[in-house]
Amino acid sequence: MLRKYEELVFRGYHPESGMRLSEEYRAFFLGGKLVRLMEYWREATGGSGLTQSEREWLEELAERVPSNFFTIDIARKVDGSLIVMEVGDGQVSGIQDEMVLEFYEEVKL
């Protein structure tokens, strides 16, 4: 399968691999609610975050995902709009090391 190339907002280079890093976010949803929105690359700096209307767009997308615990990875294109990069199972999606305790505190039942 081929995917269309999308030019993303550049935010730096990964310090170990040298890979280009973009403005990307990972959103965790549990029980239909957004429980955590984080920058995908902690090494990328200068992300603008999401506006209220962009959060609402993300939450509307999440309503169509038939799962109780999942992630949606999004990235900012150079034109300023957002694109979905991937939808994943929340049980196997990574979180930044320093956020682990905060994350589990937020999602505990």
CATH 3.30.70.270 matches 10-107: no
Q: What is the pLDDT of residue 65?
A: 96
Q: CA–CA separation, 1 vs 30, rounded Å?
A: 30
Q: Where are the domains of the chain?
A: 10-107
List pLDDT tens digits, range 49-67: 899 999 999 999 999 999 9
Tell me the CA distances in angstroms from 60 to 22, 32, 74, 92, 97, one per residue in order: 24, 10, 14, 23, 28
Q: What is the pLDDT of residue 40?
A: 84
Q: What is the pLDDT of residue 108?
A: 67
Residues in the chain with pLDDT < 70?
44-47, 96-101, 104, 107-109
